[in-house]
Amino acid sequence: MRKVRWMVAALAVCVGILAGRAAVALAEPAGEDAGRIVVFRFDGGLQEAPPAVEFGFEMGPRHSLYGLLERFRKAKKDERVKAVVVTFDRPEIGWAQMQEIRQEISDLRAADKDVYCYLEEASGRVYQLATAASRICLVPTGEVRLVGFQVEQVYFKGLLDKIGVQADVEQIGAYKEAGEPFTQTAPSEKAREMVKWLADDLFDQMVETIAEGRQIPNNEVRALIDRGPFTAREALEANLVDETLYAEAFAESLRERYGQAVEFVHDYGAKRGPEIDFSSPLAFFKLLGEAVSKVKEPTKPSIAVVYVDSVIMTGKTECGWFGERGPTGSTTIRRVLTRVRKDDGVKAVVLRVDSPGGSAVASDIIWHATRAVGGEKPLVVSMGNVAASGGYYVSAGARAIFADPGTVTGSIGVLGGKLVTKGLWDWLGVTFHETTRGRNADLLNSNRPFDDRQRALIRKHMQAVYDTFTDRVAKGREGRLKKDLEQLAGGRVFTGRQAQANGLVDKLGGLQAAIKFAAAEANVSDYKIRLLPEPRNFMDLLMRGLSGKEEDEEGADVEVAAKAWHWTLKTPAVRQLLPALQKIDPHRAGVILRSLLRIELLGREHTLLVLPGEITIR
């Protein structure tokens, strides 16, 4: 009954949204002869995969990276587009995503399209993106915060001590420091060493990017970074921007250049909301039917892009009511890969990985499915911001691996253990009495740490997982590694550029480069792109929830539930604390949420392939 109530409530909400969206549908701008200036506004985050539930139109500003890049490519080919303007409103763009968008801006310029970046303020990452433009304009009271960047790691031992919880973890690999946030209050020497080589390469990339974009020598860029931040006047004097103008004057300057009749198009290439003829009493129901209708399958050959875009767990991928995805489920990805393997219309597969890893079992299930696909048709990996540990595991068997220079990857190692919660229950006044049968029945008991015999058992199991992991990598990368695998494994993390130099990835490039490579390997030139797991039809999910009918092996692959991971943290203290943290310090609140998911994972599966700690670059 609870699921039924949720379904009915969701349907009511969606009906209201359909009506609201329909009322504000925008018409196609007129005046094609005058030409167009396309405006792309970056606000909030860019998700990798498409939404898990399709309502028939875009809902709000949830942009996918692929969709955005497609709109850039459409503008590049459109003769009516005279110029492109890129603006920003507190964007949350990963390092690798920034590099992929920057490449698309460079491609626009190569196609003789002028590209302008209009800034009100710019962080170092936004500024790197802006340097790909033909010209950079800054509001006269704006600021360029070109000050380098900060790598931040979070540690929870102090918190766990306060609530009487102890993390008893083991690791395989000297650099596999994924358990440190729960056992220490600061990084170990190995962790410091690893973060240093990551930061060094990313800083070099930042300097090289700005130097190339602004035609400033590398040593001068380094000196400018040490002088930052810059006011608008200082940025202009330092050649970091080309002009300072308010928005109205900036728009007028573009009209003077391209003609007063030129149109500014803010929704170029976006999926439009439907229009309703409110004079007809049946029009809305016709609209609802169209919104939930099936998507037509492509008739020409296709390249499938399959997304592994979050923490990897066993089971199905879960999502919220409005399409937001939770952890990636191995069952979902296995079924998708099985479908594309059997589909003769799919000529090649690109696995887009943006994941810090997760469950060892789930990672192996996905790896096995990729190998099955790769035995019949080309399978290529494209790495996003992060493809580490389990994210690298699922990539290891690909025909070719693409990564952006700033991708974080590697972390070939294993973490295992449990949480000892006796102190917490003692503080709450709760006691547990145990009666066991079997020598190892209490192996994962949360009342006490492992004893020596149990610890040896855990490490034996973890070593077996590590041996399997390294074997998968050794066979998948045979003949391509530049060093002995043990010099690259052991939990070591690399940038994409470092990984390519060591043979852990094959080529530096983004998703589009990987797609083109896969198409060439499949010997197809005219093809469509299929993004998978494809959004589920909302009405299908609604009816399945009401009927309780289960899908077969090739059926629905996501589960709409109110228990996606960020809804599992329901204790009163967390529910009160997190909203406040999200308002006060949204970045760190997100880090805490992702770290708490690692605790949840450890309690659920006990053997993990995850990126060491929660490394964030600001």
pLDDT band at 9 (very low <50, low <70, confident <90, very high): very low
Work out the mean pLDDT of the chain and round it to a whole number: 82
- In DSSP notation, 526-547 reads S-EEEEESPPEEHHHHHHHHHH
- pLDDT tens by residue, 46-67: 888 766 655 454 444 457 888 8
Question: What pLDDT, on the 0 to 100 scale, is given for residue 121?
Answer: 92
Domain boundary among 218, 239, 265: 265
Segment 137-147 mean pLDDT: 96
401 and 254 part of one domain: no
476 and 422 part of one domain: yes
380 and 496 part of one domain: yes
Is 560 domain-assigned?
yes
253 and 326 part of one domain: no
Which residue in 509, 483, 309 sits closest to 412, CA to CA? Answer: 483
Measured CA to CA, the distance from residue 577 to residue 246 in angstroms comes to: 39
6 and 107 part of one domain: yes
Question: What pLDDT, on the 0 to 100 scale, is given for residue 545?
Answer: 52
254 and 337 part of one domain: no
Is 62 domain-assigned?
yes
pLDDT at 17 over 60: no
87 and 132 part of one domain: yes
Measured CA to CA, the distance from residue 327 to residue 310 in angstroms comes to: 5
- pLDDT tens by residue, 228-247: 999 999 999 999 999 999 99
* CB-based contact 99:405 (threshold 8 Å): yes
Is 189 domain-assigned?
no
Question: What pLDDT, on the 0 to 100 scale, is given for residue 73?
Answer: 93
Is 193 domain-assigned?
no
Is 280 domain-assigned?
no
Segment 126-144 mean pLDDT: 96
Domain boundary among 245, 265, 285: 265
* Total number of domains in the chain: 2
Which run of H or E residues covers position 565? Answer: none
453 and 547 part of one domain: yes
* CB-based contact 182:165 (threshold 8 Å): no
pLDDT at 23 over 70: no
444 and 593 part of one domain: yes
- pLDDT tens by residue, 268-323: 987 665 555 555 555 555 555 555 555 555 578 999 999 998 889 888 887 654 45
What's the token pair of residue 615? 């490394």
Buried b (16+ CB within 10 A) or exposed e, 128-163: bbbbbbeebbbbeebbbebeebeeebebbbeebeee
Domain boundary among 237, 265, 293: 265
Buried b (16+ CB within 10 A) or exposed e, 373-382: bbeebbbbbb
Provide the CATH number for the domain around residue 367: 3.90.226.10
Question: What pLDDT, on the 0 to 100 scale, is given for residue 292?
Answer: 52
487 and 379 part of one domain: yes
Residue scoring higher pLDDT (427 or 51):
427
Is 270 domain-assigned?
no
Q: Amino acid identity, residue 179?
A: G
**Mean pLDDT lowest for which of 23-27, 190-194, 243-247, 393-397?**
23-27
SS (H, E, C) 447-497: CCCCCHHHHHHHHHHHHHHHHHHHHHHHHHCCCCCCCCHHHHCCCCEEEHH
pLDDT band at 96 (very low <50, low <70, confident <90, very high): very high
- Residue 113 belongs to domain spanning: 2-147+228-265
559 and 449 part of one domain: yes
- pLDDT tens by residue, 339-388: 999 999 999 999 999 999 999 999 999 999 999 999 999 999 999 999 99
Is 108 domain-assigned?
yes
Is 319 domain-assigned?
yes
pLDDT at 172 over 60: yes
Q: Is 122 helix (H, G, I), strand (E, B) or coil?
A: strand
Question: What pLDDT, on the 0 to 100 scale, is given for residue 113?
Answer: 95
pLDDT band at 592 (very low <50, low <70, confident <90, very high): low
CA distances in angstroms from 382 to 9, 147, 167, 305, listed in the order given: 38, 30, 34, 9
pLDDT at 10 over 60: no
Alpha helix (H) ranges present in 272-329? 283-291
410 and 547 part of one domain: yes
Query: What sign does the CA torsion over 217, 219, 222, 228 have?
Result: negative
